[in-house]
Amino acid sequence: MLFDAAAFLTSSGALNGVAESFVTHEIGQQIYSNVVLADSSARQPSGWEPALSKTQSTGHSDSNHALAAPVNPASLASLSGSVLLQDLSALPQAQVAKFVRANPATVSKFLVSPPGAHTVVSWWSSISPNTRKSLTVAAPELVGNLDGVPFSVRDAANRRYLAESIATLKKSIASGSGRAQLVQSRHRLDILTQISRTLHTAPNQPERQLLTFDPSGEARAAVVVGNLASADYVSYLVPGMFFTVQGQMYDWTTIAADLQTEQSTWLKTLATTNPSLGGKTAATVSWIGYSTPGVLDIASLSRADQGAKFLGNAVRGVQATRAGSEPFVTLVTHSYGSTAAMIELASGGVKVDALAMVGSPGGAAQSASALDVTNDNVYVAEAAWDPVVNTAFYGSDPGSSQFGAKKFDVAGGTDAITHKSLAAAVGHLGYFDPGSEAMRNLALIGLNQGALVTNGTLADAHRTLADANRSQPVGK
Predicted pLDDT of residue 99: 92
Q: Is the pLDDT of residue 267 over 90?
A: yes
pLDDT, position 365 = 95
Burial 331-352 (b: 16+ CB within 10 A, else e): bbbbbbbbbbbbbbbbeebbeb
Indicate whether 185 belongs to any domain.
no
The rounded distance, in Å, linking the Cα atoms of 29 and 164 is 14
pLDDT band for position 74 (50/70/90)? confident
15 or 115, which is more confident? 115
Mean pLDDT score across all residues of the chain: 86
> Does any domain span residue 12?
no
pLDDT over 80 at 28, yes or no: no
Identify whether residues 263 and 367 lie together within a single domain.
Answer: yes
Per-residue model confidence as pLDDT tens digits over 423-465: 999 999 999 999 999 999 999 999 999 999 999 999 999 999 9
User: Are 9 and 19 in contact, with CB atoms under 8 Å apart?
Assistant: yes
Give the whole-angstrom CA distance, residue 42 versus residue 374.
49
Asked if residue 10 has pLDDT above 60, the reply is no
The CATH number of the domain holding residue 260 is: 3.40.50.1820
Q: Which of 167, 188, 215 is where one domain is finished? A: 167
pLDDT exceeds 50 at position 25: no
User: Mean pLDDT over residues 9-32, rounded?
Assistant: 37
Q: How confident is the model at residue 230 (pLDDT cuts 50, 70, 90)?
A: very high
Report pLDDT for 474.
Answer: 46
Q: Is residue 398 a part of any domain in this protein?
A: yes
Distance of CA 424 to the CA centre of its chain: 28
Specify whether 47 is located in the same domain as 132.
Answer: yes
- Based on the structure, what is the number of domains in the chain? 2
Which of 79 and 377 is assigned the larger pLDDT? Answer: 377
| pLDDT score at 298 | 87
Rg of the chain in Å (alpha carbons): 23
Among 42-46, 279-283, 298-302, 384-388, which is the least confidently predicted range? 42-46
Q: Which of 167, 183, 211 is the last residue of a domain?
A: 167
Residue 154 domain flag:
yes
457 within some domain: yes
pLDDT at 472: 53
Residue-number span of the structural domain to which 91 is assigned? 29-167
CB 340 within 8 A of CB 307: yes
Rounded to two decimals, what is the model's pTM? 0.86
Q: Where are the beta strands (DSSP E) in 153-232?
A: 208-214, 220-225
* 113 lies in the same domain as 236: no
For residues 266 and 443, the answer to whether their CB atoms sit within 8 Å is yes
- pLDDT greater at residue 69 or residue 196: 196
Residue 47 has pLDDT above 70, yes or no: no
Q: In this structure, how many other beta carbons lie within 10 angstroms of the beta carbon of residue 305?
A: 15
Average pLDDT for residues 316-335, to the nearest whole number? 98
- Band (pLDDT 50/70/90 cuts) for residue 4 is very low
118-137 mean pLDDT = 96
Instruction: Please state the rounded mean pLDDT for residues 104-118.
Output: 93
Q: What separation in angstroms does the CA of 7 have from each of 12, 247, 322, 348?
A: 9, 19, 42, 35
| Residues 6 or more apart in contact with residue 321 via CB below 8 angstroms | 117, 121, 147, 148, 149, 150, 151, 229
The better pLDDT of the pair 196, 180 is held by: 196
d(CA 309, CA 301): 13
Q: How many CA atoms lie within 13 A of 444 on its CB side?
A: 24
Mean pLDDT of 121-140: 96
Residue 254 located in a structural domain: yes
Strand partners, 235: 284, 330
Which is more confident, 85 or 50?
Answer: 85
17, pLDDT greater than 50 = no
The answer to whether residues 145 and 245 belong to one domain is no
> Going along 215-291, which residue ranges are E strands?
220-225, 233-238, 282-288
Q: pLDDT-derived band of residue 35, with 50, 70 and 90 as boundaries?
A: very low
Residues 162 and 233 in one domain: no
**CB proximity list for 1: less than 8 A, separation 6 or greater:** 393
Question: Does 206 reside within a domain?
Answer: no
CA distance readout (Å), 414 to 63, 420, 422, 475: 66, 6, 6, 29
At 270-285, the pLDDT tens digits run 999 999 999 999 999 9
Residue-level pLDDT at 156: 98
Domain end position, chosen among 135, 150, 167: 167
The Cα–Cα gap between 180 and 193 comes to 20
Q: Check whether residue 243 and residue 157 sit in a common domain.
A: no
Residue 301 lies in a domain: yes
* Shared domain check, 111 and 252: no
Once rounded to an integer, what is the mean pLDDT over residues 367-376? 97
Q: What is the pLDDT of residue 69?
A: 58
Coil, strand, or helix at residue 211?
A: strand
